[in-house]
Structure 1
Amino acid sequence: MTGLHERHLAVSPDWLALYYRHPLELTHGEGRHVWDADGNRYLDFFGGILTTMTAHALPEVTKAVAEQAGRIIHSSTLYLNRPMVEMAERIATLSGIPDARVFFTTSGTEANDTALLLATAYRRSNQILAMRNSYHGRSFSTVSITGNQAWSPTSLSPLQTLYVHGGVRSRGPYAELSDERFIQACVADLEDLLGHTRRPAALIAEPVQGVGGFTSPPDGLFAAFREVLDRHGVLWISDEVQTGWGRTGDHFWGWQAHAEHGPPDILTFAKGIGNGMSVGGVVARAEVMNCLDANSISTFGGSPITMAASLANLSYLLEHDLQGNARRVGGLLIERLRGVTAASPAVREVRGRGLMIGIELVKPGTDEADLEAAAAVLEAARAGGLLLGKGGGHNTSVLRIAPPLTLTVAEAEEGAAILADALHAAG
């Protein structure tokens, strides 16, 4: 155990997880690579939990941060803030939500917490519909709507939460159905649930479940849900904390795979837009955003320095068509991974969209999660120079792959080869 690890354990809560038997201290990064305190270089396939979205030490972002820091770092929302207004204007347009208003936070948890506040105040109801296997943050309210037991440490809640089928395609009671019948069954479940509730405020859903293991429903499920929700006056919150900004390749937002009935009422975002800076936020149509009848501010949300970083990062992403790169390189990577894992009895499924890919591991010959194998592959990949993530729900163990969106074809091939060796070494 290193001295820094011992110091960490002495002052940090027991539930603050660290990866690896011998945890890493990352000291610097460049592009898609990072280095640890011992000088080892790694290809980064997790980006600080999908947060280093474009690249480590992206010059355009670091320059914007340095220049803004030289002017003013902080002011709060009590003063006019030009970078915040400019960023809000861009996000309002990109969101697809008509007459959109934008409120900035410092994290995805806080963004989802704000969305819940808006929805419950607007509908005068503390009842929330959420998806099974979901994850929405670590605050008291977001833990209470998280449908993944491993990340929900208390049953105490300010909200009444009811869970809906549909977030996991290949497990559960509808897994054997065709996509069309799967959607029909999930919609029937939602209809039945609404028949037993008084007045839900909103359905909150990740278009692709992140912590849950990069699972997703067939395209069109949330459009079918929206038709039902609209009849009952229930809002739809799309949690885009992990799926936003083009990561899924085919779409800029995850909700656009379910766009038949238009955009969500509320959209939340965070993680990648700041490329490592603490940025989150909520977009909603004015009627919903303006429903609060008390004062509010954000001390740190939308700070000049984080907005400068986000503006530079968003400009780079759009100007270099990183959504298109996620589609092209991500498509190549997922096919390559399916190829190298095809003969492995430990791999149940390789799934994903764009540069958001999950590899589900099971005990050979069963559908039972193999948590030890997932940990062993993580260690072996690290030894080979590759950093991965973990996740899963529904008693699953999933390797999570989400590199920066500038990933090259050569780096995708390199990562797939290291992962193939890691699976073999751990098998």
Structure 2
Amino acid sequence: MSLYQRHKAVMPDWLALYYDKPIELTHGEGRHVWDADGNRYLDFFGGILTTMTAHALPEVTKAVADQAGRIIHSSTLYLNRPMVELAERIAALSGIHDARVFFTTSGTEANDTALLLATAHRGSNQILAMRNSYHGRSFSTVSITGNRGWSPTSLSPLQTLYVHGGVRGRGPFAGLSDAEFVRACVADLEDVLGQARSGVAALIAEPVQGVGGFTSPPDGLYAAFREVLDRHGILWISDEVQTGWGRTGEHFWGWQAHAQNGPPDILTFAKGIGNGMSIGGVVARAEIMNGLDANSISTFGGSPVTMAAGVANLAYLLEHDLQGNARRVGGLLLERLRAVGAGVPCVREVRGRGLMAGIELVRPGTDQAWPEAAATVLEAARAGGLLLGKGGGHDTSVLRIAPPLSLTVAEAEEGADIIEAALRTV
């Protein structure tokens, strides 16, 4: 019996697998991975933006092995040196005054914790979220996900109010200038708040929507939102699970593109900081983080092994200026992809920042999403030796490109060549 058959026999039907003939990845190095048949691939998805620096990065693997040789687990009931060291560095980098850091094991759990903090602080279960958003797969985070393809139930512990602004190129405000778009979205926010009961807890927003297809508003939108939120005492949660750690190139955090009114009240992170290890977390002002009036611990959040990996990975990222590399190499890659897209009728838009690019596919001559084309391109790219991702709302018609931040110019060119050939198969 094949591994695929064994998978289907014991795993849920809703656990998605890529490719008509799913592949088993057995090992990786740098920006490349290999499957069980010995095929080598250039990795342009990095385990869903998680292998942030490189596969099998020696600094990280050594830190993990050294820590595992001492002690693997202790829980948060005991002092944990690697956890404190990583928290100190993240607090300093967050931009949040008097910051406190709580570690989780995933981005879902981080956002769940942020919702707990915000609703407890404000005494309200009302949450503002963006249309087309994605924040995780727990009961609470599914209920604030504005993307029906990833929200399997309408039941919710929260009252969620959705506002415009996460998608620039579609919807009723798409034809406006950037300034007009921001004004229209602010007016929409004001209108939504006018229909809500007083005391909304928080707005949660991805600076760049990940699962939604790497869409983003004009710079400054969330700063304009912040002026409204502050008048009502509403907190701002920036979901940096996919945008953090310099991936956008221009900034270390996605919120910094909207920084006119300072940092968010709460920041969530995960994915890339562990370079494949299970790390998530929340940063918040002390008055918010310390506001819970019940006991709490984390059994696996802040594990000594994952924290050691995070410390080593963050040090490597900063010492090698991978944010700068994302800006430089990502800029070249986006320029090349836009040139490719201009010559392919099914490409509606190539968008992104740094090493976070999306290629939206539509039926030629229309604005109609074409998920079958995205699936075809995904298969053709794999056959050509390149791994990509998919996203883009419920229709999954956007190719998601997010390689490790150490990507070289030559690898960017190689990947763009394979994408061009794959697009021309549609």
The equivalent residue for 1:281 is 281
What RMSD, in angstroms, separates the aligned Cα atoms of the two structures? 0.7
Say which SS state the counterpart of residue 393 (structure 2) adopts.
coil
Q: Does residue 320 of structure 2 align to residue 320 of structure 1?
A: yes
Say which SS state the counterpart of residue 281 (structure 1) adopts.
strand
Mapping of residues 269-348 of structure 1, within 5 Å: 269-348=269-348
The equivalent residue for 1:28 is 27
Q: Tell me by how many angstroms 1:197 deviates.
A: 1.0
The equivalent residue for 1:18 is 17
- For the Cα contact (< 8 Å) 1:361–1:396, is it kept in 2? no
Q: Does residue 399 of structure 2 align to residue 368 of structure 1?
A: no
How many aligned residue pairs are there? 425
The equivalent residue for 1:75 is 74
The equivalent residue for 1:242 is 242
Q: Does 148-157 or 189-198 show the bigger shift?
A: 189-198
Provide the C-alpha distance between the structure 1 equivalents of 2:54 and 2:292, rounded to a whole number of angstroms: 38
Moved beyond 2 Å, runs of 4+? none
Q: Tell me by how many angstroms 1:394 deviates.
A: 6.3
Provide the C-alpha distance between the structure 2 equivalents of 1:11 and 1:292, rounded to a whole number of angstroms: 39
Provide the C-alpha distance between the structure 2 equivalents of 1:297 and 1:24, rounded to a whole number of angstroms: 38
Give the aligned residue type for 2:177. Answer: S
Provide the C-alpha distance between the structure 2 equivalents of 1:164 and 1:423, rounded to a whole number of angstroms: 34
The equivalent residue for 1:220 is 220
The equivalent residue for 1:390 is 390
- For the Cα contact (< 8 Å) 1:357–1:401, is it kept in 2? yes
Q: Does residue 125 of structure 2 align to residue 126 of structure 1?
A: yes
- For the Cα contact (< 8 Å) 1:55–1:406, is it kept in 2? yes
- For the Cα contact (< 8 Å) 1:108–1:281, is it kept in 2? yes
Q: Tell me by how many angstroms 1:340 deviates.
A: 1.3
Provide the C-alpha distance between the structure 2 equivalents of 1:303 and 1:394, rounded to a whole number of angstroms: 35
- Unmatched runs of 5 consecutive residues or more in structure 1: none
The equivalent residue for 1:92 is 91
Provide the C-alpha distance between the structure 2 equivalents of 1:234 and 1:399, rounded to a whole number of angstroms: 35
Q: Does 215-224 or 196-205 show the bigger shift?
A: 196-205
Provide the C-alpha distance between the structure 2 equivalents of 1:232 and 1:341, rounded to a whole number of angstroms: 44
- For the Cα contact (< 8 Å) 1:368–1:396, is it kept in 2? no
Give the aligned residue type for 1:371. Answer: P
Provide the C-alpha distance between the structure 2 equivalents of 1:222 and 1:397, rounded to a whole number of angstroms: 26
Q: Tell me by how many angstroms 1:211 deviates.
A: 0.1
Say which SS state the counterpart of residue 422 (structure 2) adopts.
helix
Give the aligned residue type for 2:214. Answer: F
- For the Cα contact (< 8 Å) 1:135–1:212, is it kept in 2? yes
Q: Tell me by how many angstroms 1:422 deviates.
A: 0.5
Give the aligned residue type for 1:61. Answer: V
Q: Tell me by how many angstroms 1:196 deviates.
A: 1.3
Provide the C-alpha distance between the structure 1 equivalents of 2:252 and 2:208, rounded to a whole number of angstroms: 13
Show CA shifts across 1:150-174 (max 9, x none): 0000000000000000000000000
Q: Does residue 397 of structure 2 align to residue 410 of structure 1?
A: no
Provide the C-alpha distance between the structure 2 equivalents of 1:394 and 1:75, rounded to a whole number of angstroms: 41
- For the Cα contact (< 8 Å) 1:183–1:224, is it kept in 2? yes
Give the aligned residue type for 2:323. Answer: Q
Q: Structure 1's 396 and 59: CA in aligned 2 closer, same or farther, altered over 3 A?
A: closer
- Unmatched runs of 5 consecutive residues or more in structure 2: none
Give the aligned residue type for 2:229. Answer: L
Give the aligned residue type for 2:80. Answer: N
Q: Tell me by how many angstroms 1:395 deviates.
A: 4.4
- For the Cα contact (< 8 Å) 1:360–1:396, is it kept in 2? no
Say which SS state the counterpart of residue 247 (structure 1) adopts.
coil
Provide the C-alpha distance between the structure 1 equivalents of 2:337 and 2:380, rounded to a whole number of angstroms: 16
Say which SS state the counterpart of residue 298 (structure 2) adopts.
coil
Percent identity between the aligned chains? 85
Give the aligned residue type for 1:413. Answer: E
Q: Tell me by how many angstroms 1:255 deviates.
A: 0.1
Mapping of residues 345-364 of structure 1, within 5 Å: 345-364=345-364
Q: Tell me by how many angstroms 1:396 deviates.
A: 5.7
Provide the C-alpha distance between the structure 2 equivalents of 1:218 and 1:340, rounded to a whole number of angstroms: 24
Q: Tell me by how many angstroms 1:343 deviates.
A: 1.2
Say which SS state the counterpart of residue 100 (structure 2) adopts.
strand
Q: Structure 1's 106 and 396: CA in aligned 2 closer, same or farther, altered over 3 A?
A: closer
